[in-house]
Amino acid sequence: MMRGELVLRIYWILSAVRYIQGSRPHPDEEVPQIVHHPSDVVVRVGSPATLSCRAEGNPEPSIQWLRNGVPLEPEKMEGQSRPIILPEGSLFFLSVVPGRKSQSHEAVYACVARNSAGTATSRNASLHIAGGLQFYISSFCFSGLISKGQYVG
């Protein structure tokens, strides 16, 4: 092998290594990982609720929530019914409300952790609203003559 060919091959190898390194995240960056997934929750109307989510990564990932697969936008929701994304990433509802599908808190949620190295999505968790049990007692009238000892069923 001639000296020129050797220099050319070394140059080609170094160029390939630089290209590969340039397309990867910085060595100290870590893709986010969800370390605490949210769980299904059942709450009564007007009660508080929390859907937990915690993620790790480098740089520290930011957390966003999905509601029925669509990004949740708490700033567009009203007053006390507006959920809050807590600093560690959990989603907190001060007062859970039922309502029309678009406004009810009852939905399927997932958290998404993002940083410059990538994205991770939690498994889904459902928030169900228990409206309190309602019992309906039906009454009926019976008219007729009953004799002593006769069974009425």
Residue 80, domain CATH: 2.60.40.10
Specify if 8 maps to a domain: no
Q: Please give the torsion angle defined by the CA atoms of residues 16, 19, 24 and 26, in that order, rounded to the nearest 10 degrees.
A: 110
pLDDT confidence of residue 27: 78
pLDDT surpassing 60 at residue 35: yes
Specify if 76 maps to a domain: yes
Domain range for 75: 28-130
pLDDT confidence of residue 133: 45
Q: Whole-prediction pTM value?
A: 0.68
Q: What percent of the chain has pLDDT over 90?
A: 52
Specify if 78 maps to a domain: yes
Average pLDDT over residues 111-120: 98
Specify if 149 maps to a domain: no
Average pLDDT over residues 18-43: 82
Domain count, the chain: 1
Specify if 14 maps to a domain: no
> In whole angstroms, what is the distance from residue 70 CA to residue 56 CA?
23
When pLDDT is cut at 50, 70 and 90, the band that residue 7 belongs to is very low
Specify if 93 maps to a domain: yes
Specify if 151 maps to a domain: no
Specify if 75 maps to a domain: yes
For 3, other C-beta atoms within 10 Å of its C-beta total 7
> In whole angstroms, what is the distance from residue 24 CA to residue 32 CA?
15
Strands 41-44 and 125-130, how do they pair? parallel
Alpha-carbon Rg for the chain, nearest whole angstrom, is: 30
pLDDT confidence of residue 137: 39
The one-character DSSP state at 120 is E
